[in-house]
Amino acid sequence: MKINKNNLSVVIITKNEERFIGDAIKSSQFANEVLILDSGSTDNTCKIAEKLGAKVYTNEWLGFGLQKNAAVKLASNDWVFVLDSDERITFKLREEIIKTLENPKADGYFTGRLNNFFGKNIKTCGLYPDYSVRLFNRCKGSFSKVNVHESVQLQSKPSYLKNHMIHLAYDSIDEFIQKQNRYSTLNSKKKNIFKAVLNPYWTFFKLFIIKRGFLDGWHGFVISKLYAQYTFWKYIKNL
C-alpha cells in the first residue's frame, strides 16, 4: 500500500552495495519514492537499483553527514526515511510509518535497529534498540556535517516509533575489523595515552558485563572485545 497523504521518500546512499541494495529497496517499495545517491560504484549497485524502480543519482563522496544531506535534498517529498543499504524495513515498521504519516505528531521519529552480527540478532551489549532519527520532515531538520556517526538535528523534540528495522551489521569478524578500523580513522581522537590504555578495558566491561553481553555467549564476548579494540584505535591513530 502506497502512502497518499504526507508522501514519503526512502533515501539510501551507496557505493558498491550490490550484495545488499536489492533487498533494501524491496523493503522500501511501500514509499512513494526510493532514491539512491551513489558515490562511484564500480559494481552493479546502480543497475540493480534502476531495475527495481529506484531513482538513481551520483555525487562525489562528501562524508556521511554531507552525503546524506545531499541525498535528502534530491528527494521529491518533504518526509524522508533515510535507510542504509544493509538495513531492512520490516512489515510492522512499514505499517507504523504509514499510520504515523497520516497525522504526524512530531517533526521526526527515532527508529530502533535490531543488529545482526555474524548471523545472530543481538539485543545485548547496548546494541538494542539502537535508536536514531530516520523518519523526519526535511524542512525541519538535517544531518550533522560530520564524516562519521552523523545524526539528524531537528528544530523540535522527536518522538519514537515502536517497531524496529533490521540491520545486517557484519557477516564476519574480518568485515567487523575492517569497518571499525575505517571508522576509528574517521573518528580518531586527540592523542591521549592514558585513555588509550584504560578506556578499552572500560568499554569491554561495560558491554560484556553491564550491558549483559555475556547473555549472548561467544557472540557477546567477541563483540565486546572488538569494540574495546576500536576504542584503543581511536586514541592511538594520532600518536
Structure confidence by residue, pLDDT tens digits, 48-97: 999 999 999 999 999 999 999 999 999 999 999 999 999 999 999 999 99
Indicate the domain borders of the chain.
Answer: 8-170, 173-236
pTM higher than the cut 0.85: yes
- Answer whether residue 7 shows pLDDT above 90: yes
Residues 6+ apart with CB under 8 A from 105: 159
**Domain 8-170 CATH assignment equals 3.90.550.10:** yes
Instruction: Please write the tens of the pLDDT for every residue from 129-177.
Output: 999 999 999 999 999 998 778 999 999 999 999 999 999 999 999 998 9
Q: How confident is the model at residue 182 (pLDDT cuts 50, 70, 90)?
A: confident
Q: Which three cell numbers stand for residue 212?
A: 549483559
